[in-house]
A and B are shown apart, each in its own frame.
Chain A
Amino acid sequence: MKILVPCKRVSDPDNANKVKIAEGGTAVVADGLEFKPNPFDDWGVEAALRLNENASTNESLGEIIVVSFGPAEATQTIRQFLAMGADRGVLVKSEDATLDSYVVAKGLKAIVDKEQPDLVLMGKQSADGESGAVGAILAELLGWPLAFSAATLKTSDGGKTLEVGREVDGGILNLSIDGPAVVTVGDRIIAPGAVKNGVTPDDHAYPESDSGRYASLKGIMKAKKKPIEEMELSALGVEAAPTGDYSDFTMPPARSGTATFVESVQELVEKLQTEAKVL
């Protein structure tokens, strides 16, 4: 099947505590931060690869297109996913500050209209902005069904019908969907048995991992030759006009600061009773 995977580069979530704020709280300063692919999108690409391969023969069953919005540097993020095994990339050149969920979703709609994928598979949110709205907006603009926060994904007819288990509070909500559809994912989608495509044997065990597969050296070499199409946002007929403005950036209020180290369970209980008054 043909799968479109939108992805975003984000400041390295493991270094998020190094995020700085400009004087006056006017902006988040990204200078000096390392960027890496949004981990939710990494899980999306891994799920797309599992849907589109026979894992016992390594045969590809279709095409995976990775799309990103951002400055030229976002090419690097696309290239990383191509090295994992995606087939080609699209970079919609734009300034990060002019993008919001609507602008990105409208751009994606134009690309979906052109590419006609069987499925859009993407992270349920970015690790930096955390709005989690692009997938839903895209589904609505396309008039497609949406499965938000999928933990399991099964198809046996190339995506014409999808069995999806959504993570909800208190359990898993199971849906049956006629494709094409938009499916957004969290980390559960890369559990060993979470994705079934009807081709890879059902008992095939993908490894336990907290990230998608690593790129092999061969994958990295091949990725250098895979095409990345570049286009301007305006060429998609989308205006870079965010629906909102951010101001007053601050760091969250510091917690008590340094932890009080206690020596014994008895001392801990006393502190919780008399100081914190929570017991």
Chain B
Amino acid sequence: MAKVLVIAELTEDGVRKATLSAISFAAQAAGGTGGSFDVLSIGAAATGAASKLASYGAGKVLTATVDGGYVGERYAATIAAAVKNGAYDVVACCATAYGKDLLPRVAVKLEAGIASDIVGLNVDGGTLKYRRSMYAGNVLGTLTLSTALQAVSVRQSEFEPAAESGGASAVEAVDVVDDAVASRIRFVGVDVVKSERPELTEADVVVSGGRALKSAENFTNVLEPLVDALDAAMGASRAACDAGYVPNDLQVGQTGKVVAPKLYLAVGISGAIQHLAGMKGSKTIVAINKDKEAPIAQVADYFLVSDLFEAVPALTEAVKAAKAG
């Protein structure tokens, strides 16, 4: 009978899509144990987001309006109080930068065991068992927590986003609780990297480039037309980010973002293990590389052995023709 509270990650004017994966997890945990789940909408735009969050089958949507930009220290105490007051068993969040920062702080206030970045859930006789990926994606293990309260962050790519249920959950405000430490940490601002393309972790298609592209200009002139022809998000290897060809937030891998799109194209990427950890959950993987011995072959479904400067423009035209046709 797990009672789950999902902490929603909000955007300026809505709900981050990753939150819907955390709601899916909550629905699974509640469904598997005969329990229930609620959602907490917290942030400056909490009230507006609550009406959107009310359509995913939660018992209740709780709201806590905290003004100003995101600082975990200004959220954690309020969330912990909501969990205690609502007698929840599990507090869940998406394993985005937001969830990874926020959830452990909440967990400590609740003395809750932590299951980070889970990739699956098993319900075994009423006990929740969490599948986790470790060793750069080379080992999966099942974690059973012995604590009464449990804090779980959910890898977005492994839980299908929840669908709207049509119903409307009741919306209820909860108290905002101050935390002494919050006076020592101030939000200054966000340097936003603007992109017209889909968000890397949410895209159906990802096209990533490696150091073999050789320059920022080649990312723009050679790779981007293919990215746009496929309505894809653009990613990059760590080497390409380090070389300054593209901004750091495009990095796919253990030290960057973990993605699992329907189609992943690795262009001129050799496939270091840290990169593979970030993309090998993709449904179909295509490698374009001159070197057929490159480690990317270990995970690729299709491998075009070719010079990328010839293959990518040709592929761009072929994709455009296929889409048009």
Say yes or no: is B143 at the interface (Cβ < 8 Å to chain A). Answer: yes
Which residues in window 229-279 of A have CB below 8 A to B?
A: 243-252, 255-256, 258-262, 264-266, 268-269, 271-273, 276, 278-279
CB atoms of B97 and A149 under 8 A apart: yes
CB-based nearest B residue for A266:
B318
CB-based nearest A residue for B284:
A276
C-alpha spacing A78/B139, complex, angstroms: 26
Known: A170-B199, A273-B322. A13 touches B136 (CB 8 A): yes
Say yes or no: is B133 at the interface (Cβ < 8 Å to chain A). Answer: yes
Which B residues are in CB contact (< 8 Å) with A246? 141-144
User: Which of B117, B140, B141, B191 has the largest count of A CB atoms less than 10 A from its CB?
Assistant: B141
Say yes or no: is A205 at the interface (Cβ < 8 Å to chain B). Answer: no
CB atoms of B249 and A171 under 8 A apart: yes
Which A residues are in CB contact (< 8 Å) with B114? 101-102, 131, 133, 137, 243
CB atoms of A208 and B188 under 8 A apart: no
CB atoms of B133 and A278 under 8 A apart: no
Which residues in window 162-201 of A have CB below 8 A to B?
A: 163, 165-178, 181, 186-188
Q: How close is A142's CB to chain B, nearest CB, in angstroms?
A: 9
C-alpha spacing A133/B322, complex, angstroms: 46
CB-based nearest A residue for B264:
A278
C-alpha spacing A181/B183, complex, angstroms: 13
Say yes or no: is B88 at the interface (Cβ < 8 Å to chain A). Answer: no
Q: How would you classify the secondary structure of chain A's contact residues: helix, strand, loop or mixed?
A: mixed
Q: How close is A265's CB to chain B, nearest CB, in angstroms?
A: 4
Contact size class for B?
A: 35 or more
Q: How close is B23's CB to chain A, nearest CB, in angstroms?
A: 18
User: Which of A148, A259, A271 has the largest count of B CB atoms less than 10 A from its CB?
Assistant: A259
Say yes or no: is B172 at the interface (Cβ < 8 Å to chain A). Answer: no
Known: A146-B72, A149-B101, A259-B301. A175 touches B145 (CB 8 A): no
Say yes or no: is A16 at the interface (Cβ < 8 Å to chain B). Answer: yes
Say yes or no: is B8 at the interface (Cβ < 8 Å to chain A). Answer: no
Given B184, B190, B205, B273, which contacts A168 in the complex, CB threshold below 8 Å? B190
Say yes or no: is B108 at the interface (Cβ < 8 Å to chain A). Answer: yes
Contact size class for A?
A: 35 or more
Type the 1/0 row for B70-100, where 1 means its CB is closer than 8 Å to any CB of A.
1111001000000000000000000011101
C-alpha spacing A149/B192, complex, angstroms: 16
Say yes or no: is A219 at the interface (Cβ < 8 Å to chain B). Answer: no
Which residues in window 181-217 of B have CB below 8 A to A?
A: 181, 184-193, 199, 201, 205
CB atoms of A170 and B249 under 8 A apart: yes
Known: A16-B135, A269-B319, A276-B284. A144 touches B199 (CB 8 A): no
CB atoms of A171 and B192 under 8 A apart: yes
Say yes or no: is A21 at the interface (Cβ < 8 Å to chain B). Answer: yes
CB atoms of B303 and A259 under 8 A apart: yes
C-alpha spacing A146/B181, complex, angstroms: 10
Which B residues are in CB contact (< 8 Å) with A104? none
Q: How close is B110's CB to chain A, nearest CB, in angstroms?
A: 10
C-alpha spacing A260/B193, complex, angstroms: 37
Q: How close is A22's CB to chain B, nearest CB, in angstroms?
A: 11
Given B76, B101, B185, B285, which contacts A178 in the complex, CB threshold below 8 Å? B185
Known: A19-B138, A140-B76. A259 touches B297 (CB 8 A): yes
Q: How close is A108's CB to chain B, nearest CB, in angstroms?
A: 13
C-alpha spacing A102/B114, complex, angstroms: 9
Which B residues are in CB contact (< 8 Å) with A19? 135, 138-139
Which A residues are in CB contact (< 8 Å) with B139? 19, 21, 28, 249-252
Type the 1/0 row for B112-145, where 1 means its CB is closer than 8 Å to any CB of A.
0111110000000000000011111111111111
CB atoms of B70 and A133 under 8 A apart: no
C-alpha spacing A216/B184, complex, angstroms: 39
CB atoms of A259 and B300 under 8 A apart: yes
Q: How close is A18's CB to chain B, nearest CB, in angstroms?
A: 9
Which A residues are in CB contact (< 8 Å) with B263? 272, 276, 278-279
Q: How close is A277's CB to chain B, nearest CB, in angstroms?
A: 9
Given A16, A139, A255, which contacts B285 in the complex, CB threshold below 8 Å? A255
Say yes or no: is A73 at the interface (Cβ < 8 Å to chain B). Answer: no
C-alpha spacing A243/B152, complex, angstroms: 13
CB atoms of B185 and A268 under 8 A apart: no
C-alpha spacing A252/B120, complex, angstroms: 12
Which A residues are in CB contact (< 8 Å) with B142? 246-249
Which B residues are in CB contact (< 8 Å) with A186? 255
Residues of A bordering B, CB below 8 Å: 11, 13-14, 16-17, 19, 21, 28, 40, 101-102, 127-133, 135-137, 139-141, 143-149, 151, 163, 165-178, 181, 186-188, 208, 210, 243-252, 255-256, 258-262, 264-266, 268-269, 271-273, 276, 278-279
Between A and B, 12 residue pairs with Cβ closer than 8 Å are A13-B254, A146-B72, A146-B185, A149-B100, A149-B101, A169-B98, A170-B192, A175-B188, A255-B299, A260-B301, A265-B311, A266-B318
Given A171-B190, A249-B141, 11 new contacts (CB under 8 A): A140-B109, A144-B181, A148-B72, A170-B193, A174-B187, A210-B238, A244-B147, A259-B300, A259-B301, A260-B301, A265-B315
Residues of B bordering A, CB below 8 Å: 69-73, 76, 96-98, 100-101, 103-105, 107-109, 113-117, 132-147, 180-181, 184-193, 199, 201, 205, 238, 242, 248-249, 254-255, 257, 262-263, 272-274, 280, 283-287, 292, 297-306, 311, 314-315, 318-319, 322-323
